Amino acid sequence: MEEEEDQLSISSAMDEEETFEDPGTPLSVIAEAFEELAKTVSINSEDLRLVPFCDACSLVSVLFGCLGFAFKFAELEYVAKVRDLVEASKIFDTLKSILEHDIENDTVRTPGSHSRNLRRVRQGLDLIRALFEQFLTSDDCSLREAASTAYERVCAPYHTWAVRTAVFAGMFALPARQQLIEQLNETDHSVEKEMRRYINASLPVIEFIDKLYISKNIDLDW
| Dist CA 197 CA 191 (whole Å) | 10
pLDDT of res. 1: 52
pLDDT of res. 5: 52
Amino acid at 106: D
Domain boundaries, the chain: 25-215
| Dist CA 14 CA 181 (whole Å) | 33
pLDDT of res. 174: 87
Return mean pLDDT, the chain.
Answer: 88
pLDDT of res. 130: 96
Nearest residue to 125 via CA among 34, 49, 186, 45: 34
**Ramachandran category for residue 68: left, alpha or beta (phi over 0 → left; psi -120 to 50 → alpha):** left
Q: What distance lies between CA 8 and its chain's CA centroid?
A: 44
Written as one string, the DSSP assignment of 9-62 is HHHHHHHHHHH------HHHHHHHHHHHHHHHHHH-SS--BHHHHHHHHHHTHH
> Which CATH code of 1.10.3520.10, 3.30.930.10, 1.10.3720.10, 3.40.50.300 fits the domain covering 25-215?
1.10.3520.10
Buried b (16+ CB within 10 A) or exposed e, 42-79: eeeeebbbbeebbbbbbbbeebbebbbebbbbbbebbb
Task: Return the C-alpha torsion angle 24, 81, 116, 207, nearest 10.
Answer: -10
Whole-prediction pTM value?
0.86
* pLDDT tens, per residue, the chain with 222 residues: 555 555 555 444 445 444 445 678 999 999 999 999 999 999 877 789 999 999 999 999 888 888 877 777 778 889 999 999 999 999 999 999 999 999 999 999 999 999 999 999 999 999 999 999 999 998 888 899 999 999 999 988 888 898 888 888 888 888 889 999 999 999 989 999 999 999 999 999 999 999 999 999 999 888
| Dist CA 60 CA 93 (whole Å) | 21
CB atoms within 10 A of CB 16: 9
CB atoms within 10 A of CB 28: 19
